[in-house]
Amino acid sequence: MSIAVLPTLRDPYPSRLDHAISPIAREEPTVWCDRRSNSGPLGPDDLDRFDERGYLIRHGTIGTETVAPFGTEIDRLAAELAPDDRRVIREPGGAIRSIFAPHLLSSLIADVVRSDAVLPVARQLLGGEVYIHQARINLMPGFTGSGFYWHSDFETWHAEDGMPRMRAVSCSIALTPNYPYNGSLMVIPGSHHTFYPCVGPTPANHHEKSLVAQQFGVPDQDTLTKAVDAHGIDQFTGAAGSALWFDCNLLHGSGSNITPLPRSNVFLVFNSVENRLGAPYAAEQSRPEHLAARTATAPIRR
């Protein structure tokens, strides 16, 4: 009698390992729309640049006259949410660092998701219908705001949320001016072509710590040194209303903000409806809905 052996599903992007392995070349495209029959807000040069460098800056994504009310809106959300609401992440000193799922709490932010300057770009880059995988407001207060260490978002979303493929894109829109000196986001251009497996198994309830300071799912210093030697570092700066679109696998991070000038951004992650979440690839439990949507995954309609 022979024993049937079930084939083990191959994970193209293994991470959270007990030993280091070499970087892995990305298998799927960065730009998913059909380039021949393509119509959308991004021209061929924009698409080429996004493909090559993994990001694109679009100034004036929220108009100057419409961006002002967002400050008041954030204050309203911060005041309305209970101090122990899981959607609010605080700095060790108590200041609010992030508010998750603001698009479900604020019609102003829900309107941005559906706006002409945002939704068609996400659809074009991902080649079809999309939904919000994660959204947050990141607040980096003056003097005390702390940064995010280098990471690829896809590494976390694959390992902890079961996102199968690199078919998601983030849109970070400045709500206050993003200067080179107030903790603005740095990216390693071109790093999205490579998956960098990380060492160290995911601890239980990792998200309770990782959203303040991420320790697991970050490349080692030697890997980062080589990536920066090869590609350099670019930075996203711009007036309030400017948007940074970046591929889900682009390495990025930010320093702290010791200036008096706060840096607030709204951060929207679009995922293709053909890339909905499954079981985590490298974690015991999936994360809560406000970090990784499994229920609210209907295509966004305008």
Q: Which of 176, 210, 254, 257 binds ligand 6CS (CB under 6 A)?
A: 210
Tell me the C-alpha distance between 6 and 241, whole Å.
Answer: 52
**Token pair for 99:** 């508010």
Could you tell which of Fe ion, ligand 6CS, none binds residue 211, using a CB distance below 5 to 8 A set by kind?
Answer: ligand 6CS
Q: Tell how far CA 272 is from the center of its chain.
A: 14
CB-nearer residue toward ligand 6CS: 176 or 214 = 214
Could you tell which of Fe ion, ligand 6CS, none binds residue 132, using a CB distance below 5 to 8 A set by kind?
Answer: none
Site for ligand 6CS in 154-173 (CB under 6 A): 156
HSE-CB for 51 with a 13 A CA cutoff: 14
CB-nearer residue toward ligand 6CS: 42 or 188 = 188
Minimum CB distance to ligand 6CS, residue 136 (Å): 8
Q: Choose the stretch contacting ligand 6CS; rule: CB under 6 A; options: 38-46, 89-97, 146-154, 178-186.
A: 146-154
Cross-strand bridge partners of residue 14: none
196 binds ligand 6CS (CB under 6 A): no
Q: Choose the stretch contacting ligand 6CS; rule: CB under 6 A; options: 39-47, 148-156, 224-232, 238-246.
A: 148-156
Tell me the C-alpha distance between 204 and 284, whole Å.
Answer: 7
Binding mask 118-137 for ligand 6CS (x = CB under 6 A): ----------------x---
Q: Choose the stretch contacting ligand 6CS; rule: CB under 6 A; options: 35-43, 107-115, 150-158, 175-183.
A: 150-158
270 binds ligand 6CS (CB under 6 A): no
Which residues, 6+ apart, have CB-to-CB distance to 95 below 8 Å?
Answer: 139, 141, 144, 145
Closest to 140 in 3D by CA, of 238, 242, 265: 265
What is the DSSP secondary structure assignment for residue 298, as one 8-state letter? S
148 binds ligand 6CS (CB under 6 A): yes
Torsion of CA 202, 206, 212, 214, to 10 degrees: 0
Edge-to-edge strand list for the sheet holding 243-247: 55-58, 243-247, 168-174, 263-272, 130-140, 96-100, 88-90
Q: Choose the stretch contacting ligand 6CS; rule: CB under 6 A; options: 115-123, 186-194, 206-214, 221-229.
A: 206-214
The secondary structure of 204-250 as a DSSP string is: TTTHHHHTTS--SS---HHHHHHHHHHH--EE--B-TT-EEEEETT-
CB-nearer residue toward ligand 6CS: 211 or 296 = 211
Tell me the C-alpha distance between 66 and 52, whole Å.
Answer: 32
Residue 147, amino acid: G
Using CB under 5 A, list all residues that contact Fe ion: 153
191 binds ligand 6CS (CB under 6 A): no
202 binds ligand 6CS (CB under 6 A): no
Q: Which residues bind ligand 6CS (CB under 6 A)?
A: 134, 148, 151, 153, 156, 210-211, 214, 291
